[in-house]
Amino acid sequence: MARRLAIVGGDAAGMSAASTAKRRDPDLEVVAFERGPYTSYSACGIPYYVGGLFDDSDRLISRSPDEHRANGIVLHARTEVVGIDLAARTLAVRDHQTGDEHGEDFDELVLATGAEAVPPPIPGADASEPVRTVDAAERFRAALRRGGEHHHVVVIGGGYIGIEMAEALVQRDIPTTLVEALPQLMSTLDADMAAHVQDAAEGIGVRVLVGTAVEEVLLDDEGAPRAVRVDGETIDADHVVMATGVKPAVGLAKDAGIELGASGAVAVDDHQRCPAHDGVYAAGDCAESWHRLLRKPVNIQLGTHANKQGRIAGANATGGDLAFPGVIGTAVSRICRYEVARTGLSEREAAAAGIEVVAATVKDRTRAGYFPGVGPIWVKLLCEPGTGRLLGGQVVGVEGAAKRIDVLATCVWTGLTVAEIELLDLGYAPPYSGVYDPVLVAARAAVKALR
């Protein structure tokens, strides 16, 4: 009888694993379980859908259940795995349409259960909308359409998703307040760089409250939000979008006796294997990733890692020998008029890890001064005292800024020093920079700061 690979979770990591395994071993039976109706969707695209950049939510789906089925994968949507028996090699599975529960056996298993929103301990928070899935986004858009013109929305959480949602809402002419408990937006950036992001958000009309704790979401008689009470103020709100923390969805793994790491996510080796459990893999938002600078496992929830790790798990589950080399914390987003990016360690992260750094920040231009679309770009570099080895970078600026982070990421990855970076042979032409690329200008400033 054919061997059977079971996949728990039908988004990026799970379906990358399923597709890779099926492609490598067409005789393998690959069966995937997804509790929602959709597979392989782009959570990153949801704010753009909410903002009305496109109207067809199918555009968020990179591969539908039927497309996966056409590739020979047995795909059960609206079907949730509710228990794992590792000794018996069986799953307990619930069909959300019929309510039926039944068993499914497996030889190898890939856990790709993703992450889940953590409602903050605020009275009424349960009535807010996390808008993390395609169906939640569809419901939210429909609600915005229904409500006429008197909306006011409060977004709780000033990370990139919260800011993107706030931007999407003001683009629909919906007055929006963004509330963040920390003293700055985008805590993945240092405060000096995050200040530019706040400028941009306020510039398009988002009301931003930082250092502001939400005390309560006030509900109407039907249990829907009507206002949000923050430090000393009550803000009307027909909708409350919750964009606070998420955590790895590990309940199922934990109940099955699969080990979690210190980050709270499923512990894996560099082959995405759960070390104590032969033939069991984990990948994506539910799993740990090795951080190459911190030299320890972390849990970073990004589609780019999920896709790679899923592919590696799928390959290794079918006799492959691929290693995931780890992460360095690269992330990009576009927020209002600015592109925003970071890699490696921030000053705050370095301090928390007891790593000393030298920092340098420059303000430059994205193009030659006479070129249409020219605008500011800030580049901040952090390097090791003494050696000057690059440990981190942050970039904020207009169009053309963000993907500079990939150069810095490659430098962090390969251990280049700022003195080496300063003389790298990077491209120059007037549409892209002054004669010294901002990356080189920043490296030069860091060389000076090291002295």
Residues that are catalytic: 44
The reply on whether position 406 binds its own copies by CB under 8 A is yes
Please give the structure tokens belonging to residue 171: 């683009």
Count of chain residues binding its own copies (CB under 8 A): 64
Among 343, 346, 394, 417, binds its own copies (CB under 8 A): 343
User: Pattern 199-238, binding to its own copies, x per CB under 8 A?
Assistant: ----------------------------------------
Please give the structure tokens belonging to residue 307: 């896709």
Strands 29-33 and 4-8: parallel
Select from 349, 444, 346 the least CA-distant residue to 396: 346
Backbone angles phi, psi at 208, to 5 degrees: -110, 125
Among 146, 148, 414, 451, binds its own copies (CB under 8 A): 414
Nearer to its own copies, 22 or 63 (CB): 63
In sequence order, the β-bridge partners of residue 121 are none
Q: Map residue 132 onto helix, strand or coil.
A: coil
Applying CB under 8 A, the span of 120-128, 251-259, 375-383, 402-410 interacting with its own copies comes to 402-410
Per-residue CA distances from 116 to 113, 125, 318 (Å)? 9, 15, 29
Alpha carbons 397 and 176: distance in angstroms, whole number: 23
User: 82 CB contacts (<8 Å, ≥6 apart)?
Assistant: 92, 93, 94, 101, 252
Applying CB under 8 A, the span of 99-107, 135-143, 278-286, 329-337 interacting with its own copies comes to 329-337
Among 54, 135, 211, 231, binds its own copies (CB under 8 A): 54
Among 91, 137, 153, 302, binds its own copies (CB under 8 A): 302
User: 269 CB contacts (<8 Å, ≥6 apart)?
Assistant: 275
**What letter does residue 409 receive in the DSSP assignment?**
H
Nearest 5 degrees, angle CA 264-CA 325-CA 357? 75
CB of 344 to its own copies, least distance (A): 9
Nearer to its own copies, 184 or 307 (CB): 307
The reply on whether position 98 binds its own copies by CB under 8 A is no
Applying CB under 8 A, the span of 29-37, 43-51, 68-76, 380-388 interacting with its own copies comes to 43-51
Select from 59, 48, 229, 241 the least CA-distant residue to 143: 241
**Residue 85 Ramachandran class (φ > 0 left, ψ -120 to 50 alpha, else beta):** beta
Applying CB under 8 A, the span of 25-33, 139-147, 169-177, 323-331 interacting with its own copies comes to 323-331
Among 331, 345, 441, 443, binds its own copies (CB under 8 A): 331
The reply on whether position 329 binds its own copies by CB under 8 A is yes
The reply on whether position 397 binds its own copies by CB under 8 A is no
Q: Which residues bind its own copies (CB under 8 A)?
A: 12, 42, 44-45, 48, 53-54, 59, 62, 302-305, 307-308, 324-334, 339, 341, 343, 368-372, 399-400, 402-407, 409-411, 413-414, 416, 420, 423-432, 434-437, 439
